[in-house]
Chain A
Amino acid sequence: MTTHALKSAAAPEAERPAALRRGPGPLARAVDTTLGRGLIQAAAVAVFFAAWEIAVDAGWLTEFLVGAPSGIWRVFRASLMDGSLAVDTWYTLVEAILGFVIGTALGSLAGLGLWYSVLVARVVEPFIVAINSVPKIALAPIVILWFGTGFVSKVALAVSLTALVALIAAYQAARDADPDLQALMASMGATKNRIFRSVIVPSTLPAIIGMFRINIGFALVGAVVGEFISSQRGLGHLIYNASSLYDLNTVWVGLFVLMFVGFVLYHVIDVVERRILPWRQVSTAGGIQV
């Protein structure tokens, strides 16, 4: 009996021309699983490296200028075995993470703090805009002069790149916090501190965590550029040295490890976001992804 009902309900759908049917086709739906997508991605990577290797073997590309996957793999294995790659990665990672944490924390706190005083915010605003308009990388030579050629200067550079981004994002988010929610709290007799804790901080968190993603990238830029200028360790040092020796395979190893580090950090933030903002995950829109 249900077949009957189903049939009549399905009939108009079937009569519709295929072009009008919404959504992905049957093949796309079958492949669109974690495994399916992973296989496609792995295949794309494999094809890319295979084409590269073949092109170098056939002499269409000069290994001297572009490197070759087989060479990259050799360098990767060797530097992994002698531990030098781990040391370089560790240096860059710690510099970037420290720079990210310090810069983002200082900037976010200052930006949120500006919510407390409209006057201070208005006075400070043009200065922030002016300082922000300087390409922070241009500060690198001074930072090296001030903080030396070691570890601290890289952290300082990463801080200088991330702090203002964090400040501006946090301040804007705090300024955009729903005034009606603040009025509601005020009508309940809430103090300014209470409103800050109960409305401003939670309502700015999505924007602040969104900014984390940008700042992870900036922190890595700070660390690597610092290492380019002067250093004894780090992935930036590895890449810079190797490229001045035309050792392209080693350059690629540095780049791929950097890519991997950035990728992992980005996903760490995804996890953090899901933990801190469970309310952002819920939706009544079911499977509709926007």
Chain B
Amino acid sequence: MDPTPTPDSSADPKTAPVQLALRGIRKSFQAKAGPVPVLDGLSFDIHERDFVSIIGPSGCGKTTVFNVIAGLLEPDAGTMLFRGRPVPGLRGRVGYMMQKDLLFPWRTVLQNVMLGLEMKGTDPREATDTARRYLAQFGLGGFENAYPKTLSGGMRQRAALIRTLIMDPDILLLDEPFSALDYQTRLYLEGVLLDAVERFGKTVVLVTHDIDEAVALSKRVVVLGGRPSRVKNVHAIELGDRSPIGARSDPRFSEYFHTLCGELDIQTRAGSASTARAEAA
């Protein structure tokens, strides 16, 4: 069940075997005026231990892709292959994080983090020990019995990340997980995420509208476009330093940034807020 890949951070995503392949995924939603197609035959690969960002203009169906991969939405057509075998979706195999921390307000931090282990039927004592260890490791030791309400946004999102990692999912699915946080907290959590992903050898699919974040974190960026949307392009991002600040300081960073903005038809020279921020970093 557990793939336990050797912790080798330099694995080349292009040569790594394909973990999840999407082939011709189509999906439309019912509206009053009739079906509205959202995804028009989406195909792309996610490699073992890949970090793929899916970007696209708003309303392009990023979250729909996310839900299809998670197995929460059934595509109208197309197949998904997980390690070569067709699967209906990855329910139970994915870790799922959204912009909202989705911590259960009636559970303490410890109980929230244990949720996935509880569902797997892990022995409660063992689950508690594991959860405590993770919390300590991610700097939330001492907050075990706090309710989420009493934590800051950054701490809550960190607890959500621990809850995701502790289940040892095959793929982490992140839907703009840091976009509600202030920039400092966000850089910090991006670092925590990258470290954790390296350490545990996880594959990450990040859905975001934030090009800056996509370039800084990803090994590859899938650009969606058109209505209904298709894969417009896939870019390999090669930056020397993968830390959130290091990546943003790399001279190639702004090159990737402008290329991707160009693909999304964003006017980057007009001094949009995100450009200014990218350059400041």
Whether both chains belong to one complex is answered with yes
A283 at the interface (CB under 8 A from B): yes
**Chain A contacts of B116 at CB under 8 A?**
188
**Chain A contacts of B173 at CB under 8 A?**
187
A203 at the interface (CB under 8 A from B): yes
Whether the pair B147, A282 counts as a contact (CB closer than 8 A) is: yes
User: Which of the 9-residue segments A6-14, A177-185, A259-267 touches chain B?
Assistant: A177-185
Tell me which residues from 26 to 41 in chain B have a Cβ below 8 Å from any Cβ of chain A: none
B105 at the interface (CB under 8 A from A): yes
Contact with B along A179-219 (1 / 0, CB 8 A): 01101111111100010001100110100000000000000
Whether the pair A187, B70 counts as a contact (CB closer than 8 A) is: yes
Whether the pair A188, B149 counts as a contact (CB closer than 8 A) is: no
B100 at the interface (CB under 8 A from A): yes
A50 at the interface (CB under 8 A from B): no
A178 to chain B, nearest CB (A): 8
**Chain A contacts of B98 at CB under 8 A?**
180, 184
A161 to chain B, nearest CB (A): 30
Q: For the complex, give the distance between the alpha carbons of A178 and B105 in Å.
A: 11
Whether the pair A180, B100 counts as a contact (CB closer than 8 A) is: yes
Q: Which residue of B lies closest to A199 (CB)?
A: B104
Contact of B72 among A186, A202, A277, A283 (CB under 8 A): A186
Contact of B91 among A186, A199, A205, A279 (CB under 8 A): A186
Dominant SS among interface residues on chain B: loop
A193 to chain B, nearest CB (A): 12
Interface size of B in residues (CB-CB distance below 8 Å): 25
B66 to chain A, nearest CB (A): 10
Q: For the complex, give the distance between the alpha carbons of A203 and B105 in Å.
A: 9
Q: Which residue of A lies closest to B96 (CB)?
A: A187
**Chain B contacts of A187 at CB under 8 A?**
70-72, 91-92, 94, 96, 173
Dominant SS among interface residues on chain A: helix
Contact with B along A78-113 (1 / 0, CB 8 A): 000000000000000000000000000000000000
B207 at the interface (CB under 8 A from A): no
**Chain A contacts of B70 at CB under 8 A?**
183, 186-187
A289 at the interface (CB under 8 A from B): no
**Chain B contacts of A183 at CB under 8 A?**
67, 70, 72, 96
Q: Which residue of B lies closest to A283 (CB)?
A: B149
Whether the pair A202, B104 counts as a contact (CB closer than 8 A) is: yes
Q: For the complex, give the distance between the alpha carbons of A283 and B105 in Å.
A: 12
Q: For the complex, give the distance between the alpha carbons of A278 and B148 in Å.
A: 12
A146 to chain B, nearest CB (A): 41
Whether the pair A279, B72 counts as a contact (CB closer than 8 A) is: no
B266 at the interface (CB under 8 A from A): no
Excluding A202-B106, A205-B106, 19 further A-B contacts by CB distance (< 8 Å) are A180-B98, A180-B100, A180-B102, A181-B102, A181-B104, A183-B70, A183-B72, A183-B96, A184-B102, A186-B72, A187-B173, A188-B92, A188-B116, A188-B167, A189-B91, A189-B119, A199-B104, A279-B105, A282-B150
Query: Can you give 11 contacting A-B residue pairs, CB < 8 Å?
Result: A178-B102, A180-B98, A180-B102, A184-B102, A186-B71, A187-B173, A188-B119, A189-B119, A190-B119, A279-B107, A279-B149
